[in-house]
Structure 1
Amino acid sequence: MRKAALHNLGCKVNAYETEAMTQLLRQAGYEIVSFEEVADVYVINTCSVTNIADRKSRQMLHRARKKNAQAVVVATGCYTQTASDKLKDDISVDILIGNNEKMQLVSKIEAYLEKKQRQIDVVDIAKVQEYEAMHLSDSAQHCRAFLKVQDGCNQFCSYCLIPYARGRIRSRAPQDVIQEVKDIVEKGHKEVVITGIHLSSYGKDTGNHLIALIEKLQEIEGLARIRLGSLEPMIIDEEFLLRLTKCDKVCPHFHLSLQSGCDATLQRMNRHYTTEEYKQRVALIRKAYTHPAITTDVIVGFPGETDSEYEMTKAYLEELGLYEMHIFKYSKRDGTKAAVMPNQVAQEVKNVRSDELIKMAQRHTCDFAAYYLNRDIKVLFEETVSIDGKNYLQGYTPEYVRVLSDVTGRKEGQIYTVRATRMDEMGRLFA
């Protein structure tokens, strides 16, 4: 029996696809082993969101070759798609698979083993119009399973290479999504996280709509929770929320991508909303739900971001008071418009701004989580963790607040109503 090892870099969509490729290999008779072990086949699902991600992707490909000079090394994912010309000259890699051919992994490995000829299958992703069907019958996650329903992006933000790596928007057929969720629920998973490269675009190419898909998932027996991945702010309107609030399985946890609290910066980023429009969407969510969790991403030090622009962002975020903010220092991405913009911000300035916003984010997280102290909360407990020598069951509320509880009388994979009596400096609740 041949051994295969897989390594994933990048986003939740990549993680889903890596699980799907793992399932394919297992079904083909491969034994799946750790990437640290000696294997016959190594598959690296690469990332290209930053120059650093490119470098990590190359490092993992070379590490695989060093582990076993005779192994078949497969490169797939976004770096493979955007840097195929470079990888064609890299003797560490035997098989190159673009972002629309991952389900052909096994046949391409078999073809290589038979002919001993490099397999290069990377086409112009911009011309691909069909969604590549992937189907997971089980997930490596114990309780929560990621569910990819969409690929591609038409936004072309000035800092991002993803439209070139993933192509134009392509949506998965609703009936295929529904069947996969039923299969996952049968395996005991209680929560699905709906993900995509640009989730808000789901159905725009097929005449469907994200909310209609959610309503269909709501009807699946045995599914307890539906969690939404990252959304564009402008998908949020009164009709969307009216229909969403009728789906009681949907978690009141919204990740609304922001990136900056300054309109001038948003314009340079080619983001398609204003700070006022974003604020209105936050207000609509807070009107529709009692205490919803709203999280976001923020980039500091974008080219041209002056001290006053940064201070505007800082004041804006303070006013919004979101549950979680993921703070990123702008990183040049070769091939994007932002990489050649004037007035690039010094690294030292980015560091200071990032540190300030991270401290604010931590304070806001604790403020949000403190609301749940001494209240009955429903928690899906996922795993056992050890903190300071003591074992706890760890899980999450529908709002994605982390809760730790005594293991006595409770099991992983179950939802329990508990009451938290204390909170630590990280915003974790203890019940």
Structure 2
Amino acid sequence: MRKAALHNLGCKVNSYETEAMTQLLKKAGYEIVSFQDQADVYIINTCSVTNMADRKSRQMLHKAKKQNPNAVVVATGCYVQTATEKVAQDLSIDLVVGNNRKKDIVEILNEYYAEKEAGEQVKEEYVIDINHTDEYEDLEISTVTEHTRAHLKIQDGCNNFCSYCIIPYARGRIRSRTMESIKAELERLSASGFKEIVLTGINLSCYDDNGKKLIDVIEMADNVNGIERIRLGSLDPEVVTEDFVERLGKVKKICPHFHFSLQSGCDKTLKAMNRHYTSDEYYEKCQLIRKHIDNPAFTTDVIVGFPGETEEDYISSREFVKKVKFAELHVFKYSKRDGTVAAKMPNQIDEKIKTLRSEDLIKTGEELTKEFRQAKIGQDTTVLFEEKILLDNKEYWVGHTVDYIKIAVPEKENLEGQIRKVNVKDFLTNEIMLATM
């Protein structure tokens, strides 16, 4: 029995694909071990979203070869697609498996071992031209490492070509999973005991299976027995129409928690980013969701220090963030990504200025998060409990509400995987709220 170790870098889509490869290898008879252990095969599912992500991907590949020089080191994922020459020259890599070929991981390894036994030592590369395929890679899972919540990938690729982003070149054009395949996986996950599923994709909002859209997937999931919560990975403003939100408001199991892509609240910066909406249009979409769904929690990503962003532009973005009243902000300093339009733009911002703006916006985000959570004190809500923790020598069961607030209850009973009604009392820490059952 050969031993395989897998390491994931990057997004939730990558995590899903790593889990799917793990299950394929298990089914083929591989023993799955920790990445820190000695293994016969190391598979690194790489990320390429930033130059730093590329560097981390290389570091993990080199670490694997150093741990066991005789092991087969497999590089897969987005770094493979965007840095083909560097990957070809990297002596620590034995096998190169691009996006859309991860489903073939067992067959690729079998072929490699057969060639090695025959005395052939050539580095094999299994990389398709990702920018000229319309095939959706139909990976699937039946269980995940996390015991209560399962991510379900339904879409791949992106057509947006934001000026700062390399992902369309790494993931290719938009491709969607069939409704039938999604339904089958929903039923498998439900049978495995998962109560919450998170629909995810590279550009989830663009899901399209022969005219069936994202809202059709959501409504289908709403009718799967055993699934009690449906959470969306990320939404773009383009998908939020009156029809979409009206139908969404009728979905019984939808979590009123929306990661709603923004990137900047300044129209000039949005245009430079090649984002296809204005701040006013974005705000109108937020209000449309609020019209049909009670007290939704909006979270978002915001980039500071984009090329050409003046102090006035930054302040405009910050004030817009306050206007929307986000429940949580994820703040990123603009990071130059080789191969993108933004990397060649004039007026690149000094790192010290980026840091000051980042720290300021993070503080704004913390204030908004506290305000959002403060309003929950005294209210009844439901929590899907995930794990037991020890805090100040006291045991608590912790989990998340439908709007993704982390809740702790001082309870001895085993609550893992259960959805229970609680009353929110106060802040236990900055990150966790205290409740009682």
TM-score for the superposition, normalised by structure 1: 0.98
Q: Does 1:32 align with 2:37?
A: no
Q: How far is 1:425 from its partner?
A: 5.2
Asked if 2 retains the 8 angstrom alpha-carbon contact of 1:192 and 1:227, the reply is yes
Greater shift in the superposed pair: 54-63 or 418-427: 418-427
For 1:122, the equivalent position in structure 2 comes to: 127
Aligned amino acid, residue 254 of structure 2? V
Provide Cα deviations, 1:343-385, integer angstroms capped at 9, x if missing partner.
0000000000000111111111111111211111100001112
SS at match of 2:212: coil
For 2:185, the equivalent position in structure 1 comes to: 180
Give the CA RMSD over aligned residues. 1.0
For 2:119, the equivalent position in structure 1 comes to: none
SS at match of 1:421: strand
For 2:307, the equivalent position in structure 1 comes to: 303
Provide Cα deviations, 1:81-115, integer angstroms capped at 9, x if missing partner.
11122111111001101101001111111111111
Q: Does 1:151 align with 2:156?
A: yes
For 1:49, the equivalent position in structure 2 comes to: 49
Aligned equivalents of 1:388, 1:360: Cα separation in 2 = 29
For 1:265, the equivalent position in structure 2 comes to: 269
SS at match of 2:180: helix
Q: Does 1:403 align with 2:407?
A: yes
For 2:228, the equivalent position in structure 1 comes to: 224
SS at match of 1:381: strand
SS at match of 1:386: strand
SS at match of 1:183: helix
- Unpaired runs of 5+ residues, structure 1, are none
Pairs aligned (count): 430
SS at match of 1:70: coil
Q: Does 1:320 align with 2:324?
A: yes
Q: Does 1:412 align with 2:416?
A: yes
Q: Does 1:243 align with 2:247?
A: yes
Asked if 2 retains the 8 angstrom alpha-carbon contact of 1:190 and 1:223, the reply is yes
SS at match of 1:420: strand
Note the 1:60-139 alignment, pairs <5 A: 60-116=60-116, 117-139=122-144
For 2:426, the equivalent position in structure 1 comes to: 422
Aligned amino acid, residue 361 of structure 1? G
Q: Does 1:2 align with 2:7?
A: no
Aligned equivalents of 2:332, 2:3: Cα separation in 1 = 37
Q: How far is 1:427 from its partner?
A: 4.5
Asked if 2 retains the 8 angstrom alpha-carbon contact of 1:259 and 1:297, the reply is yes
Aligned amino acid, residue 57 of structure 2? S
Aligned equivalents of 1:355, 1:2: Cα separation in 2 = 48
For 2:345, the equivalent position in structure 1 comes to: 341
Aligned equivalents of 1:8, 1:414: Cα separation in 2 = 28
Aligned equivalents of 2:431, 2:19: Cα separation in 1 = 31
Q: Does 1:382 align with 2:382?
A: no
Q: Does 1:364 align with 2:364?
A: no
Asked if 2 retains the 8 angstrom alpha-carbon contact of 1:392 and 1:407, the reply is yes
Asked if 2 retains the 8 angstrom alpha-carbon contact of 1:158 and 1:268, the reply is yes
Aligned equivalents of 2:22, 2:12: Cα separation in 1 = 15
TM-score for the superposition, normalised by structure 2: 0.97
Provide Cα deviations, 1:310-349, integer angstroms capped at 9, x if missing partner.
0111111112111011000000000000000000000000
Provide Cα deviations, 1:132-171, integer angstroms capped at 9, x if missing partner.
1111011111100000000000000000000000000000
Q: How far is 1:388 from its partner?
A: 2.3
Provide Cα deviations, 1:171-197, integer angstroms capped at 9, x if missing partner.
000010010010011111100000000
Aligned equivalents of 1:391, 1:206: Cα separation in 2 = 50
Aligned equivalents of 1:338, 1:170: Cα separation in 2 = 26
Q: Does 1:234 align with 2:238?
A: yes
Aligned amino acid, residue 146 of structure 1? H
- Unpaired runs of 5+ residues, structure 2, are 117-121
Which one of 191, 197, 204 corresponds to residue 196 of structure 2?
191
Aligned amino acid, residue 163 of structure 1? P
Q: How far is 1:392 from its partner?
A: 1.3
Q: Does 1:168 align with 2:173?
A: yes
Q: How far is 1:410 from its partner?
A: 4.2
Q: How far is 1:237 from its partner?
A: 1.8
SS at match of 1:369: helix
Aligned equivalents of 1:362, 1:388: Cα separation in 2 = 23
Asked if 2 retains the 8 angstrom alpha-carbon contact of 1:171 and 1:206, the reply is no
